[in-house]
C-alpha cells in the first residue's frame, strides 16, 4: 500500500512539473521524504519563483489529506486527480493564502479532527480547476 501511495504522489508531481514546463517555467523537483514543498518553479519572464505543494489522488471525488499546520501562505497548492489511464489529470490550483483565509470552507468537519486526519473536500475545490493564472503574478 505504501508503494502505491508513493507512485500516485510521484505521478502527480511529474504531471504538474510537465505542465509547468509546457508553460515555459523552469522546474526543479525536490527529493526526500517529509519535504515541505514538492516543486520549485520559476517564471523566467517575470523572474518570479514559486514553492509548489502537490497532493494527488487517483479518482474524484475524494478528499485530500493535508494537515492545516503544514499550510504556508507563500506556497501554491496543486490538488491532482489522475483519472483513468486514457484521460488527462484534473488540476485544482490554490494559493496558501486562499486556503488559510477560509479553512472551514475547504476542510469542513475534518478541521481539527480528534484523530488529526484533516482533509480538503472536493466540492470547494471545483472553482479552482485549471487556475494556472495563479502562477502569473
Query: What are the sequence ranges of the domains in the chain?
Result: 2-135
pLDDT digits (tens, 9 = 90+) for 56-80: 999 877 899 999 989 999 999 999 9
Question: What are the helix and strand counts (H, E) for the chain?
Answer: 3, 7
Distance from C-alpha of 88 to C-alpha of 75, rounded to nearest angstrom: 24
Distances (CA, A) of 36 to 75, 85, 88: 10, 29, 26
User: Which residues pair with residue 91 across a beta bridge?
Assistant: 80
Question: pTM for the complete prediction?
Answer: 0.91
pLDDT in tens, the chain (137 residues): 566 888 888 999 999 999 999 999 999 998 766 577 999 999 988 899 999 999 999 987 789 999 998 999 999 999 999 998 899 999 999 999 999 999 999 998 878 877 778 889 999 999 999 999 999 75
The domain 2-135 is classified under which CATH number: 3.30.200.20, 3.10.20.30, 3.40.980.10, 3.40.1350.10? 3.40.1350.10
**Cell digits of residue 114:** 480528534
Distance from C-alpha of 97 to C-alpha of 44, rounded to nearest angstrom: 23
Amino acid at each position: 500500500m505504501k508503494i502505491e501511495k508513493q507512485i500516485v504522489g510521484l505521478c502527480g508531481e511529474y504531471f504538474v512539473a510537465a505542465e509547468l514546463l509546457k508553460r515555459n517555467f523552469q522546474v526543479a523537483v525536490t527529493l526526500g521524504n517529509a519535504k515541505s514543498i514538492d516543486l520549485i518553479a520559476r517564471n523566467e519572464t517575470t523572474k518570479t519563483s514559486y514553492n509548489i505543494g502537490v497532493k494527488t489522488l487517483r479518482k474524484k471525488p475524494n478528499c485530500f489529506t493535508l494537515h492545516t499546520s503544514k499550510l504556508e501562505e507563500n506556497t501554491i497548492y496543486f490538488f491532482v486527480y489522475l483519472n483513468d489511464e486514457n484521460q488527462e489529470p484534473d488540476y485544482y490550483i490554490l494559493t496558501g493564502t486562499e486556503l488559510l483565509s477560509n479553512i472551514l470552507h475547504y476542510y469542513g468537519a475534518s478541521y481539527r479532527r480528534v484523530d488529526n486526519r484533516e482533509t480538503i473536500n472536493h466540492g470547494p475545490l471545483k472553482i479552482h480547476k485549471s487556475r494556472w493564472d495563479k502562477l502569473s503574478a
